Amino acid sequence: MTPSQYNQCVKDYADGVFRFILKNLKDSDEAQNIVQNTFEKVWIKRDVVIFEKAKSYIFTIAYREMIDVIRAKKKFTSMESIKEEQFNSLGAGYTGVKALLDKLVNKLPENQRTAILLRDYEGHDYKTISEITGMTEPQVKINIFRARQFLKDCIGKMEVLI
């Protein structure tokens, strides 16, 4: 990968990586650090990285950096710990489905959240997501399905409550 191709990757993917990391960590400074570390590693390995596969490579490094941070900070929230009455508090500040969805995504388990964000934010296919996260393709698909199922149920219940 030439320096010009690297710079093109920065222009194309830096914002997406930042949004993805920020959505997971909810920490702008940490997200910036991860993005900087990610592209620094890509620059170091630029002789090995193929430009056509740079996107998945960048997101793979960023995901692993994010996992390290998450494990260090232990921000995982299990789906079983979510109780229905928590949704009532959401109704007090309900500003639309989009805002509700943002809050609900944070309630997802780590694997499901990662899979659905990579799918919807960046449009990665199941194969790419499996390369990034280390899950198999069927696991990726199942996690996305379960995530959408959960979100659908929650949104449906909110609408019922409202």
Footprint on this chain of another protein (rule: CB under 8 A)? 3, 6-7, 10-11, 14-19, 22-23, 28, 32, 35-36, 39, 43, 97-98, 101-102, 105, 116-117, 119-121, 144-145, 147-149, 151-152, 155-156
Nearer to another protein, 71 or 79 (CB): 79
Q: What is the largest CA-CA distance in the chain?
A: 56
32 or 88, CB closer to another protein? 32
* Least distance CB 103 / another protein (angstroms): 12
Length of the chain: 162
Report the C-alpha gap between 78 and 138 in whole angstroms. Answer: 21
CB nearer to another protein: pick between 76 and 145: 145
Closer by beta carbon to another protein, 32 or else 136: 32
C-alpha dihedral (107, 109, 110, 112), degrees to nearest 10: -100
C-beta of 151: minimal distance to another protein in Å?
4
Placement of tokens 């449009």 in the chain: 123
**Phi-psi label, residue 96: left if phi above 0, alpha if psi -120 to 50, beta otherwise:** left
